Structure 1
């Protein structure tokens, strides 16, 4: 089974804050601080963090890559790297601005709109001028409150920091997925959220071995129709397409970041037959695994 962080060419980065920030679930630094902490330039190589990174580009130009998509960076661009995404700071030598590193638990329990945003959304987007000024003010306030919490050593400040972080995410993040209440009302929407989160966790654990939605539905105690409704409400994709896209993403990571033979890449994501893997990959990616690998190597 493929597990996060098991590809040798991808550096697994675990949340490891400065000692004084431990216990708060977040910290604020800058691109300048990132460069100073990374003289070996590990930032330019593929890495997979187990925490969130929200970066705001105040000045300069650069590039960021998230799972094979390049994003140009410029003034007022916001980068949100979610846990598990394979990314690299392709060029941030001339970029300035704040970065907020935070764990998922930092804002848990602060409501569906915030928690929903953490699942999906573009890794990079440009922010309007009015929202941008408010976002920078939000980061500054978050940094000041974090410094005060560290100075006091008050664990009770964690709730305050979580609310400030939530406000910042709502300001710069994309709109959260719409969870239609329908005839079931708010309780039905909350139920769909729970269904999707359970399905998502099950897919992360089993996508490399199990490719049929019926098996997940049986394991979780839902119908396929229920899984499909909840997954489409969250991601815009049906349950089957969501599963297929997750398998495809890991296949791309294997092709791009390892030198495994094509057939072996297919085996790592659950295809015992190389022809079936090639057909699956071509149907979703629009190219054969070999052609896709060649194109990825030439980037």
Structure 2
């Protein structure tokens, strides 16, 4: 698995880079796009024609005209098959959007969805506008404006977001509860490899555990402890599936001082021991045919 850092091309040092899948295929002659990768930046794709496939965190997603893919930093993914599609591929740094909340607008952000047919032309127009400004900035640096590019990216994001994810007004109490959950989610992302108890987060954030449980359940449908455990489990699966680390090393990487405790945790969450789960994943990957879309479908 490749760890990818944000390294913009020459003339694209504004926190965002606009590509196309056709351009990606031209430059990526050894097809590194089909190998597992983990970026430290956002990848937003809008499919404008054709069909293909994408994989992210152990799930396969079919791609069609109007599909949107949003890979957030840390997600392990690969472009399984993008040889018969085209569209926009936008890379941007965390914090580049003018409103940071747009990066976490959904409490359980989706990886892939499809915009309605009546929205697609508007989304394409937004992507084309961003692309034109990006190319103009690269050709003529005196025309460059990071603020303008940031707002054009925000316009595209707002246009393609699923209706259930679009920002909408809340009552004061609802806003407050959501703020508490966002603070908890951010703390979990920063500390889940060290802190495995909700009480640790409650102490750090200045709330009691019942408040964190209530607000997390309201936002996600699950309690604070289950939310934390799922984040630890996802990272455990990533390490087991995409590295050569033995179980004991994975346990230490995730803050378990004893491999037996990690195995107990993993078995409780999945029903399988880590080694059994890994073997099953490899077996399924070996048996699974490579996804190949039908030519001419959309």
1:72 corresponds to which residue? Answer: 62
Give the whole-Å Cα distance in 2 for the aligned partners of 1:116 and 1:208: 21
Per-residue Cα deviation, 1:199-236 (whole angstroms, up to 9, x for no partner) = 33332332122210101111222222332344345444
Match of 2:8 among 17, 20, 36: 17
Question: Structure 1 192/53 Cα, relative in aligned 2: closer, same or farther at 3 Å?
Answer: same
Residue 11 of structure 2 aligns to a residue whose secondary structure is: helix
Q: Conserved in 1, the CA contact under 8 Å of 2:17 and 2:134?
A: yes
Distance in 2 (CA, whole Å) between partners of 1:281 and 1:220 is 27
Give the TM-score normalised by the residue count of structure 1: 0.84
2:21 and 2:85 in contact (8 A); partners too: yes
Counting only pairs closer than 5 Å after superposition, residues 245-260 of structure 1 correspond to structure 2 as: 245-260=230-245
Q: Deviations over 1:147-180 (max 9, x none)?
A: 3334442577322222221121122123338888
Say if 2:165 is the partner of 1:176: yes
| The one of 162, 165, 185 aligned to 2:153 | 165
Unpaired runs of 5+ residues, structure 2, are 286-298
Q: Does 1:129 align with 2:117?
A: yes
- Give the Cα–Cα distance (whole angstroms) in 2 for the partners of residues 230 and 155 of structure 1: 45
Q: Is structure 2 residue 147 aligned with structure 1 residue 147?
A: no
- Match in the other structure for 1:106: 96
Partner of 2:252: 267
Q: Deviations over 1:79-125 (max 9, x none)?
A: 11111111111121222111111123221337x4x343376422111
Tell me, in whole angstroms, the C-alpha distance in 1 between the residues paired with 2:107 and 2:72.
Answer: 8
Aligned: 1:288 with 2:273: yes
Preserved CA contact (<8 Å) 1:199 1:216: yes
- In the alignment, the residues of structure 1 paired with residue 106 and residue 4 of structure 2 have an alpha-carbon distance, to the nearest angstrom, of 18
Q: Matched residue pairs, number?
A: 283
Q: 2:201 aligns with which of 205, 209, 216?
A: 216
Asked if the contact 1:61/1:75 (under 8 Å) is kept, the reply is yes
Q: Which moved more, 1:153-162 or 1:137-146?
A: 153-162
Residues 235 and 49 (structure 1), Cα distance of their counterparts in 2 relative to 1, 3 Å cut? farther
- CA distance in 1 between partners of 2:218 and 2:143 (Å): 36
